[in-house]
Structure 1
Amino acid sequence: MDMKRHLKSALKQLGFDKPRKAQIIPMNTLDAEQNAIVIAATGSGKQIIYETVGLAHSDKLTIVIEPLLALIYNQVQTLQDHNMSVDYIDMTRSKEDIDKILNKARKGKLNFLYVTPERLQNHSFIETMQHSDIFMIVADECHCITEWGYTFRDAYLHIGDFIGKLKRKPVICACSATISADSLNTIRDSLHMDKPAVLRSDLRRDNLILLKKDVTCNKKTLEERLEFRIKKLCKTIDKYHKDGSVLIFAQTTTYVDALYNILEEKYPDDVTRYHSRIKPERRKKQLLFDFLQGKRKIMIATSAFSMGIDVPDIELVVHFNAPISMTDYIQQIGR
C-alpha cells in the first residue's frame, strides 16, 4: 500500500525519507478521517504516525493528550527542532502564555497542541476549542485510560465528554504498545470512537537483549544488601555503558534519590534523576533535557519516565526494583 503525496511531503518535513511498513496503513486511515486504535511495539514510531497526519493537515489543529509532562516536553522539542507550529500547556505556563496559545489555536495559527487530560476540563480551554478548527485528537499511551482512570486520574475517563462538547467531531487516534483485549472496548467507548479501525502490528523488538542478574546475597542488614546490589549495578553499567546512555528504573522516589546520591559520587557530573517529587517543575524539566541532550548520560527515574520518551542512544536499561506490572515492564524496556 502506498501513501498519498501530501503524507510523503509531511513525513519528509519530519526528517524521514520513507515510512516504516507498519506506519503506512495507520497514516492512510487517519488521513481518510477514520478513527483508529494503533497498537504497536515501543519504539516503533507511533508518534511519527500522528505527527505526519497532523502535519499533512497543518491548516487545522491536532491536539495530543499525553499522560506525562516528560512526554510532552520531549515531543514538543522534537517538533520545534523541525520548525513546526507546536506548543503545550502545563502548570509552568503563565496565564498570559496560555491566553496567547489559546488565541493562536482559535485563529488557526497552531498545528499541534500538547496537553494532559486534566486540561480538557478547563472551562476556557473547552470554550476556545469549541471555536477552533480541530482535525484530530490523539490519546497517546491510551492504556492510561483503564490503568489510571479508575484510580488517581479520573480526568482520563472524561476525554470523551470533552470531545462531545466540540461543535465538529474530529478524527480520534488512540495509541499504545500495551492495550489488553479486555481494555480495548473500554478505551473505544471512553473516547467516543465510532467504529474505529483497530490496527495491530508486530510487538516484538528484535533489537532488545534481556538479561537477568542474580543479586541474592547472605548479608544480614538492609544497608549491606543494598551496598551489594549497587556494586552489581555499577559492574553492569561499566560493562555495557560505552558511548550511549543508561536508564535505571527504581520503584520509589526514595530509591531514586538514594541511587542518585551514590552513583553521582562514582560517575560525577554524569548522573541525573527524574520523579514526581522534584520541584519546581522547571527544574525537573531541565533535568530531563540534560539527559535527552546528552549532557548527563545516566538517568535514574521512577515510572514517570517510562512511557514514550525518545532517547535514540540508550545502551542499557536497568530495573533496580521489579516493576509494578507487566505493562510498566514492557513500556520501560522499550525506551
Structure 2
Amino acid sequence: MIELRQINKTYGSGAGVVQALKDIDLTVRKAEIFGIIGHSGAGKSTLIRTINLLERPTSGQVMVDGTDITSLPHHRLQERRRSIGMIFQHFNLLSSLSVHDNIAFPLRLSKQPKAETERRVKELIGLVGLEDHADKHPAQLSGGQKQRVGIARALATNPKVLLCDEATSALDPQTTQSILALLLEINRKLHITIVLITHEMQVIRAICDRVAVLDGGMIVESGDVASVFLKPQHRTTKDFVAQASDGSEAYAGLIDKERGKRTQVKITFIGKQTYEPVLYETMKEMNVPFAILQGTISRLKDTPYGQLIVELHAAGEEADRTLTALRDQGLDVEVLTVG
C-alpha cells in the first residue's frame, strides 16, 4: 500500500546541513494500523509528511498504491492527495466555520455536488459521534470533540490512507483512549490504512499492528508490535518499553541472589497460552518446585500476553533441563539470576 524507498531528507547546506531522515525503507500494508514512535527531534513528523509530500524528500521514492508520487506533476499530485487524509496534533480547524462546515470544507474545495456534500457530512458526523454539535464552532468544543471534527474532515473525500500526526498528544488520557477507539473502529469498518506517529508506547500498544522505532532520523527497529514490545533490541526501543512496563524489570534487579540453588527467570506468554496452565504442567512434569514472584496479564491491541517473574527451586543441569522444557512449549524464557 505504502512503500518508502531509501528516503533521505536534509535541510540547509554546507556546514549548516541537517539530515532529518537517513536511508528510510518502510512498507505499510493495506488496511493495517502502522505506528512510528520516536523521541522529540527523531524525525517522526518529517517522515509522516513525506507520505503525502507535504515534505518532499531530498532523495528516494514514495510509492502509494503502486504509484511513485514523487514523480507526479503538480496537478496529479493534488488529485492523489485526496486519497490521503491527515489529522494533526492541534486540530487545525477553521475557527470561523461550524463543525458541519469544517467537515464540508474539503468537499466544497473539490466541487462536490451540494446534495452529495450534505449526505457525506451527515454520515461523518454520525460516525464520529457529534450529532448534537453540528452547528457549534471550534471554540465551543472540548479537545476530544475538536479531534473528532478533524478526523471527520480527513475522511470527507473517502481516502484510502489516514495519516495521524501526534493525534492524541494534546489530549488527556481518558480522551486519548476514546480517540484511539474511534481510529480502531474506523480502520475496521472502513478498511482504511492508518499511519500514526507518537512518542507514547501506550498508543502503539493499544491499536497498532506493526511499529517502526525512529532514532536520529533512522529506523533502528521494526516489526509486529508484540515482538518489538516484548523483545526490544535497540536502546531507544527499550526506553519506550520501560515507559509502558508493569515494573517487573525494576523488580528483577532487586531479586535476592543469596538464596542457594535457585534460578529466577522471566517467562513471556503470547496469545492463547496466556490463559493456559503451561507453566504448571511443565513444572509438574519436570518435578521442579517453583514460586511466582510477580506477574501481569495485558493486551497488545487484540493479542493477550502475560509475563511472570518465576523462581525455580533448581540450578545447574536441572535448571537447564527445565528451561529447555519451557522453551519447547513455545515460551520465551529469560534468565535473570542463577543461584
- Give me the TM-score of the superposition, normalised by structure 1: 0.35
Query: Which has a greater percent of helix?
Result: 1
Structure number with larger C-alpha Rg: 2
